[in-house]
Amino acid sequence: SFRRIFLIAQLSLAVVSLLDIVLVTRANLDMGIPDKAFVLGDTVISDVISRLKTMPVMVLCARLCPKGIEGTLFALLMSISNFSRSISRFWGAIVCTWLGIAKDQYDMLWLAIVVRSVLKVVPIFFLFLVPATDPQDIVNKLGFSSFSYATTPMVQTLALRATQDGVIWPRRPLVSSNGLLSCIQNLPHSSYDKRPTHFRAVAFNSSGELLAVSDEKGRLFVLFVTANSYALVQHLGVPTISCCFSPLRKTELLVTCEDEAIRCIDVQSQTLISTLRGHRYPARCASFQKSGHLALTASQDAVILWDTKDWSRYRVLNAGPGVEEAMFVSKGDLVAVCFQDDTVMMWELESLALSGRAPFIYVWEFESQTIIRIIELPLPIKQVVSHAFLPGHTTMISILGDDGSVFFLDVAAKNPQIKLEIANRGRAISAFDIECHAR
């Protein structure tokens, strides 16, 4: 706690200041210590202790300081420090005059040193004004400090601009205590439009080396994680809805947009491969077969299968109105279509976890076509926005709730409990994706 740090530091300063009596009485020469060596050692020790005493306060101020006025706060702290030093020198001169200490009179200098050391103990009697607990705990509970400064002081923030490319981490990234590696900020599209631009969709490729990020302005960024770089791949000019990478060709990205068209883009060459049309409503989701030979897109009225060799229309599943989501299941030999009326249509699988606009997870067994378990999610979750199985796991699913948090649940456990929860204070998570190694 701060009390203990201040107590130990102040007592240490008082003891170290008493060592000046050894120098004044010349006892250091009797010990065989030269004056220069004694003064140097005494100065170094006292300076180190003073720095250790002020460091907790400086760190706390840095966490509390609003972004943009760091220089003003530092100037204020230095002004207070310089003012206190000026006052102490003034009163020190008065004490020396009172004791009769002059440039050729040092008989009472030892007494002045004792008085100085005693005065260094006086602040200890005011330690009751310092909180007994860590003030940072109080700050976190009250929510005074921002997320990026209070909980992730070493996490780097990447500001995505309308530039062709850039660097993700200018220095080696550090992982915060809550597992956050980096924070990506989407800057306004232009200087005259200051409104924030929200991200719409994210997706890792099958190797986890690429991360695609699209926003409501139609900008498509790709983060080349292993190469520590990012690029503005396409500016579609149309708000995006979802995106996913091909498992066969790792640089091909399928993007659904609000203009009812689907675009296939090669993020490596930054070229548009094909524009797919056929939906009468905007496609809400896209999915690739595990082999990568087929892809599907689902809109409110239909599910369309595409041949990825030439991106021709392979088959149209007229599912009727009310399609909520569709995806390839397991090995890709089945297509699961979820509807708004809580029904699921399969176009033979072992198991599938189904979620929807309710705070429940339904676990199905398709051999018997029955629900084997219903898991109720804890408050304040009122409905499930999206979910996905963790790569390499058959029972662990990740769930995005309407409260903006992502959590992980083992649907096969006897008493299912949340294993991990990821939340962003003050800012709800709107989409998520997990790379192939589930890390």
Distance CA 418, CA 410 (A): 8
Helical axes 70-98 vs 109-119, angle rounded to 10° = 140
List the chain pLDDT tens, one digit each, 439 residues.
677 888 888 888 888 888 877 777 778 788 888 888 877 877 788 888 877 877 777 777 776 676 677 788 888 888 988 898 888 888 888 888 888 887 777 778 878 888 888 888 888 888 887 767 666 666 555 554 444 444 444 567 777 766 667 888 877 777 777 777 888 877 766 666 667 778 888 999 888 889 999 888 888 889 898 888 888 888 888 899 999 999 888 899 999 999 889 999 999 888 999 999 988 889 888 988 888 888 889 888 788 888 888 888 888 876 667 788 888 876 666 777 788 777 777 764 344 555 556 677 877 776 666 777 788 887 778 788 778 888 877 788 888 888 888 888 888 777 777 777 787 766 778 888 888 777 7
User: What CATH code is assigned to 351-439?
Assistant: 2.40.10
Where in the chain are the domains?
Answer: 2-133, 156-349, 351-439
Tell me the whole-structure pTM to 2 decimals. Answer: 0.50
The three-state secondary structure class of 102 is strand
What lies within 8 Å, CB to CB, of 96 at 6+ separation is: 112
Q: Do domains 156-349 and 351-439 have the same CATH topology?
A: no
Strands 252-257 and 165-166: unpaired
Assigned architecture for domain 156-349: 7 Propeller (2.130)
- Phi, psi for residue 174 in degrees, rounded to 5: -120, 140
Cross-strand pairs, 354: 362
Omega of the bond prior to 380 within 30 degrees of 0, cis? yes
Lookup result for tokens 């339904």: 362
Strands 351-356 and 334-339: unpaired
